[in-house]
Structures are given as structure tokens and as C-alpha cells.
Structure 1
Amino acid sequence: MKNWISFPKVEGTASRQAHVRLPAGTYEREMGREGFFGPATQMHHAHPPTGWTSFDGPLRPRAFDLNHVDTMPGCPLEAPALMGNGATQVRLWRFKGRMDHLVRNADGDDLLFFHQGGGHLFCDYGHLEVREGDYVVLPRNTCWRLETDEAVMVLMVEATNDAYKLPHKGLVGTHAIFDPAVLDVPTLDDAFQAQKHERETLVRVKKRGQLCAMTYPFNPLDAVGWHGDLAPVRLNWRDIRPLMSHRYHLPPSAHSTWISSRFIVCTFVPRPIESDPEALKLPYYHSNEDFDEVLFYHRGQFFSRDNIHPGMVTYHPSGFPHGPHPKAYEVAQKFERKETDEVAVMIDTRDPLDVYPAMDGVEWGGYADSWKAK
């Protein structure tokens, strides 16, 4: 535990509670540490904190349309890396067909999010059917392959030299957000038995970012049984029951789904919008001073953004104020929408991310100007 310098004070005209009953004509901005887990102060401004007229340099917010990343490698280990750092690598894999080899990632756990399509995943532990909206966590060095009759688009998030864990749910208990009982594991079913064979099989392995190959005279997916508490798990966003408060807008950390040592993955799913007339009804302006923020948009209309559609990703480096677009803010103030229909995956990283060349041709160059009042 960090012994933060903590002495809550109030200066000038301020609300009594965060995100509730803002002083008339003001815009609230939260300055916080450790994402949304550390100490924070709510500043009240006379102008929108995103009211810049120009924005340039490495702090500039960026947006990309991954629908136009058109490479379709047959091997997920060769999927183009979009962004990353020493703790994570974010990739996009498009594929259709039947993998003719097996893969293993010796660099860390892999989190697969199936944005489009589905199929059949075979691994050391058995067979797992996957569909649109599924997360699949693959423990480090799990051997696997995918078969699909339709094109899939998969967001891959590696926990480099690390593992995925479940978030601590504190006061709300272990069954909140999603009951661990809904996590499915692979089974040694008929489909798994049918894929066994004695033919030569190639296994491609990623280690320290490089690929190597191992060849067996048989199919290594030949388990006859297993027992233990380490296995791949599947979770669909439809099984997530989000925390809600009709009187207070909860921070993104309340929607944490997977935790690694240096980053977290949150899932935003449809929910009622706050109904209390004094409560903010969309994400508040904030300066996330310690975490970079990545949002991948899966489906629906993201209620704090304009001109964002499924398959896009936004990147907000730590250190600048951001929040709802002007039109979205105006709609929220009038309480014109009563519920959200969005599904999005958020990755908050403790270490700065590098954006890789694979993103060069798919960037929306005007994203930083999208906060300008129309």
C-alpha cells in the first residue's frame, strides 16, 4: 500500500460530492492517480476541459479504424501488432478456415476477444466453441488452433511475461459483475477426440517476440484427461451484469473484467443511464495521470463519443484532459437517452504505449479536433 499524501480540502465553489450537483455553469474534471484507484481531486472549470483549438505532439489523442487492417495471416502469432509496451502487445487477427498447425505463446497469457465470427478452438485442454462477443483467456504456453467456416476478427491482448487474474470485487462480493460459474473451460468431447491423429504436426512457438518451430510425428493435442485449476476460460460479454448506480456515475474501474500486473481490461456493456437529475449521466472529464487508455468499440453507439463505429479503436495517452464529445454532453444533459447500447473493451496500461506502423494507414487524422464545439 502506498502512503499517499492525503488531506481532503475544499477551495472556492465546489460540489459537495464528486460527479453530483455540479455548480451551475461549470464543468467537472477529475485529476486522479493510479487510474481510478488512487487519490483524486475534482476541479470545477468555467469552460470545457476539452475546449482546445489546436492539439499537436505525442500527447495527441488518436483514433484508428481497424476494419481497414486487411492482412489475414494464417498464424495468429503473425497477426500485426497495433500497439504495445513491455507489459502488453495488442494485435488484430483476421482469419478464415482451418489452421494447419498449432501455436503456443511462451511470452505470456493471451486474451482473445472475438469481435466478428466464431468457430472451434482446440487446445491442450480440449475443445471450446467460440462465437462473436467471446473472451478467451489462454494461459501462457497453451497449445491451440482454430477452425472456422466464417471470417473472424479477433483482438488479441498479450499479458507479456505475466498472467490474467480476476478483479477483486470487494463489498459487492464474488458473484457481482459476473459469477465465476459462467466461465466455461474446454472439454474432451467428441469433437476433440475426432481431431486426434498420428500425422506429422507443426507447432509454432513465440518466445521473446521471435518465432520458432517444433515438429512432432503426431498431433500433440492428445490429452486423455486432466485435473487442476489452471485452464483456458471463455466469457461472453452477454454474461456480464454491470454494476449500476442511478444516483452516481461509476468510474470505468467498476467494470474491470481481467487484471494483469501492469494493465487492466474493462468491458462496457448495455445498462440504464443514471436517472437522478443531480447526477452526471456520462463519463466525466478526467485527466488520467498514470495510465494510457485504449478503447476498442465492438457494437452499438458509444454514448460519450460521436463519429465512432464498431471496429474502431481510440488511444488516449496519459496526461491530458479528455471526456465526452460536445454533442454527447448536450444529449446527456437533457437526459434524452435512458440507456446505453454500447459494448466496448477498454485497456488501461500503467506504462506508455507505442503505436506501431500497422496503424499508419488506418488513422482518423481529425480525431483531436472532434471535441471542438460545432
Structure 2
Amino acid sequence: MTDYLTGFGGMHETEAVAGALPIGRNSPQRPAFGLYAEQLSGSAFTMPRSENRRSWLYRMRPTADHPPYEAYRGNQMVGAKGSDKPLAPNRLRWDPPELPVGNDFVDGLVTMLATRDPADLEGVALHCYRADVSMTHRSFMSADGELLFLPQRGALHLFTEMGRLDVPPGHIAIVPRGVRFRVEVPEGGAGGYVAENYGAPFRLPDLGPIGANGLANPRDFETPAAAFEDVEGDHELIQKNGGHLWAATIDRSPLDVVAWHGNYAPCRYDLTRFNTLGTVSFDHPDPSIFTVLTSPSDVPGRANADFVIFPPRWMVAEDTFRPPWFHRNVMSEAMGLIHGEYDAKADGFTPGGLSLHNVMSGHGPDVETWRKASEAELQPHKIDGTLAFMVETCWPYKPTDFALQRAQHDYDEAWQGFPKAKVPDAD
């Protein structure tokens, strides 16, 4: 048995014990070993076949077997809404947030940016986390949206209902809406980002004129082989629902799926496998050329959420301002930095930090970056040792009160001091 199955969004089948997976039937009268057949649906039953996402799970007990949930009394910083105060159209940036120490993933999670109410089934939120200890005797799931993990410091070991995923920095992982999991961290802990997508599930973008190859390749996404936990004793279920956390206690681990088949499952992806494309003549393409995953909205071409990366790449364009140019956008851009330096900023944007340029906010390189790029003798060179990302959305982001209290007070100064252009008098 292999540890991972390859392919994004494809049908998989896997069993941790031979004979656990029924052949030719989804819900036989008597599944093998007394297992329970349970369908996990990530889309409406009547969605077109190409859009239908579901998996059949064969587990030791049904998930319906639990007592009522009650309000979780631990972490109150996750699921927070954007501030109710009027938000000025200012650019915002944050140093890596100082989060409480000694917590596991659930209690070390804080919401920084939010868009829509999860009940709208649209929008995205961006969280940061710090986990110093592994989760024990508890699991987590979000009923609000799928979770995109972006480790920045320390690996995450995700033990999901459908198998295990090891996710070091430089990788991402997607845990679909409704899938339970436990997060284990190495000695020294871990920190990073989580994007929570309330809208249409992430998928690979269409390539259009690019053709059949390039950007993220479906075969490079890895889905876990079945693995299960047969553990009795008190176990805390924590669920995010309606923007709030709820808890219930059951008498066993819920990570008891012995076999499963379908196309609704967690996966991971190594970002170094992203095939970056760019110009070999002049100018450079829009940042959409760096899109790894997209969640479409009801308007074609306007994303509910795009996950975009800025990885190591060659720059060869002639007579071209090579850093990201000055621009304003109908989309809102939240950026983070995994490691290295971002090529549009000389300083102030550090790994683990975050920036926000909301709808139509003017932004681009700072003065020092602009000056160097404008005066550089253009030769082919490689941007290396860096990895930045952007979670872009058509909805305006609202920082939470926690985030607003910690924003850098001098970010706007990055664009102060540009010299005035010397334009001759008109004839």
C-alpha cells in the first residue's frame, strides 16, 4: 500500500484493511467487518457529474453518533467577523502576529481578515496560527468552508478521517469542508496561515491559450491512502459552524474510516512543482499567470478566491519594469510570505507577515525597489530563495479588531518620496 494517491479531483479508492472496500456497491446490506457505509457530500446531489464531489466512507461507527454540541469555551479569536467600524481605504500590513504560546492548532488559531458571512456560501477568510503542542484526544472540522493550509514555520502532520498528510513549509494542504482531522506538530511547534473558502471548492484554473501544460499539474496533488484510528476513551469534537466554535464529547476517536472511495478528499501539493510561466520578450503577464487554485464566483472570470504564488523564477524580459507594477484592482489582495524577500518591497514585509490591498487601493513597489528596477542593467537573472502567496477575492476584506490593533502604523510611507516626473511644456 502506498502512502499517497495522485491526481487532483479524481476518483480514488483505498483501504487500510484488505476486503474493507465493497466492490460494485456503495452501501451494501452488510458491509465487511460490520463497518458502516456513510456518504460525505461536498456538493448537492444533483450537481452535474463533472462538478459532483462526494466520497463513500466505511467506518467503525457512524458520525451521527454524538451528543448535542455546546459552545466551545476555549479559543474565541477564530471566526471573528471583520470590524464593525467603517474601514478607511488604506493599505495595511502586519508583522507576524504574536499569538499565545503553549496551545495546539485549535487554540492557536486567530482570524485576521474576513469577507462574507459563511452562511452566504461565498467569500473567504484568512487566519494565522501558532501551534506549540499537538492535538490529543480532540479533532476539528469546519462546516463553514474548505481549509487551505500554508505552513510557514514547522511542518504540520494532519491525521484526517481519510488518511495522513505530512505538510512541511513550501507545501500546501486542502482539507474539504466537513472532514475531521487532528493536527500534530514537531518539537518546536509550527506557525503559518490558513485560508478558509466559503464558496465553490478550489479547483485548477483553466489554461486557455496556454494549452494543456503549465502551472499546477493535477498529477502532483497527493491524496492520502486510508489510515484509521481504533482508540476508545473520551474525545472532544470541535466544529466551526456559522463562524463559531462548538464542542461535543464522544467515547472514541472519530478518525475511524477503514476504507473510502470517491473524489472528495484532503490533498497536499509541493509548491516547487508549480510550472511558472512568463514572458520571453517584453512586459510581463498579469499576476493571474501564477494562479495555483481558483474558486469561481457566479460571474465568469471573477474569482470568489484565487490562490496565487510568487515562487523562484527567471526574469528575462527586455525594456521592462520587472517588479510588480503600480496598479489598482477590482479584486482584493491579501498577501503572505513563507520565506525570503518579496521582490516588490525592500523591507517591512517579513516571513509570517501579511498585507492587504483592498478593492481599488493603489499599490506597487516602494521607492527603493522602483529606483533599483528603473536603473538596473537588464540581464537575465533568477529571483531565488523566496516564496510569497496571495489570496485574492472579489469581495472586500475586513480586518478583525484583533488585526486592526496590530497593523503597522507606517505602511503608507512605503510610497512616499517618489520624484515628480519632468514633463516638458505642451506646445
Residue by residue over 1:214-271, the C-alpha shift from the partner in whole angstroms, topping out at 9 and shown as x without a partner, is 3322212111111111111101221212112132311111111121231211011011
Q: Which whole-Å CA distance do the structure 1 matches of 2:98 and 2:104 have between them?
A: 18
The answer to whether the 8 A contact 2:215-2:277 is kept is yes
Aligned residues: 312
Q: Which whole-Å CA distance do the structure 1 matches of 2:225 and 2:111 have between them?
A: 31
Q: CA deviation at 1:75?
A: 4.3
Q: 1:221 aligns with which of 248, 251, 255?
A: 255
Q: Which whole-Å CA distance do the structure 2 matches of 1:352 and 1:335 have between them?
A: 39
**Percent identity (aligned):** 23
Q: CA deviation at 1:361?
A: 4.4
Residue aligning to 2:244 = 210
Q: Which sits farther off after the overlay, 324-333 or 67-76?
A: 67-76
Establish whether residue 296 from structure 1 lines up as the match of residue 336 from structure 2: yes
Residue by residue over 1:46-78, the C-alpha shift from the partner in whole angstroms, topping out at 9 and shown as x without a partner, is xxxxxxxxxxx7111111012434456434376
The answer to whether the 8 A contact 1:109-1:162 is kept is no
Residue aligning to 2:353 = 312
Residue aligning to 1:166 = 204
Residue aligning to 1:329 = 370
Gaps of 5+ in 1: 1-56
Residue aligning to 1:359 = 403
Q: CA deviation at 1:304?
A: 1.3
Q: CA deviation at 1:144?
A: 0.2
What value does the CA root-mean-square deviation take over the aligned residues?
A: 2.0
Residue aligning to 2:382 = 339
Q: Which whole-Å CA distance do the structure 1 matches of 2:199 and 2:103 have between them?
A: 24
The answer to whether the 8 A contact 2:99-2:129 is kept is no
Q: 1:283 aligns with which of 324, 344, 350?
A: 324
Q: Which whole-Å CA distance do the structure 2 matches of 1:301 and 1:131 have between them?
A: 19
Residue aligning to 2:63 = none
Q: Which whole-Å CA distance do the structure 2 matches of 1:178 and 1:346 have between them?
A: 16
Q: CA deviation at 1:357?
A: 1.8
Q: Which whole-Å CA distance do the structure 2 matches of 1:325 and 1:80 have between them?
A: 29
Q: CA deviation at 1:350?
A: 0.8
Question: SS where residue 185 of structure 2 aligns?
Answer: strand
Residue aligning to 1:175 = 213
Q: 2:415 aligns with which of 362, 371, 374?
A: 371
Whichever residue aligns with residue 132 of structure 1, its letter is P
Output the TM-score relative to the length of structure 1.
Answer: 0.78
Residue aligning to 1:9 = none
Output the TM-score relative to the length of structure 2.
Answer: 0.69
Residue by residue over 1:265-293, the C-alpha shift from the partner in whole angstroms, topping out at 9 and shown as x without a partner, is 101101111332x22312121111x2111
Question: SS where residue 330 of structure 1 aligns?
Answer: helix
Q: Which whole-Å CA distance do the structure 2 matches of 1:202 and 1:82 have between them?
A: 26
Gaps of 5+ in 2: 1-86, 117-122, 298-303, 419-427
Q: Which whole-Å CA distance do the structure 1 matches of 2:90 and 2:399 have between them?
A: 12
Q: CA deviation at 1:199?
A: 2.3
Establish whether residue 59 from structure 1 lines up as the match of residue 89 from structure 2: yes
Relative to structure 1, the CA distance from residue 174 to residue 159 in structure 2 (aligned partners, 3 Å threshold; closer, same or farther) is farther
| 1:1-374 matches, cutoff 5 A | 58-70=88-100, 73-76=103-106, 79-86=109-116, 87-100=123-136, 101-150=138-187, 151-188=189-226, 192-193=227-228, 195-247=229-281, 248-260=283-295, 261=297, 262-276=304-318, 278-288=319-329, 290-307=330-347, 308-333=349-374, 334-335=376-377, 338-341=381-384, 342-373=386-417
Q: Which whole-Å CA distance do the structure 2 matches of 1:246 and 1:305 have between them?
A: 24
Relative to structure 1, the CA distance from residue 93 to residue 81 in structure 2 (aligned partners, 3 Å threshold; closer, same or farther) is same
Question: SS where residue 280 of structure 2 aligns?
Answer: coil
The answer to whether the 8 A contact 2:105-2:134 is kept is no
Q: CA deviation at 1:161?
A: 4.7
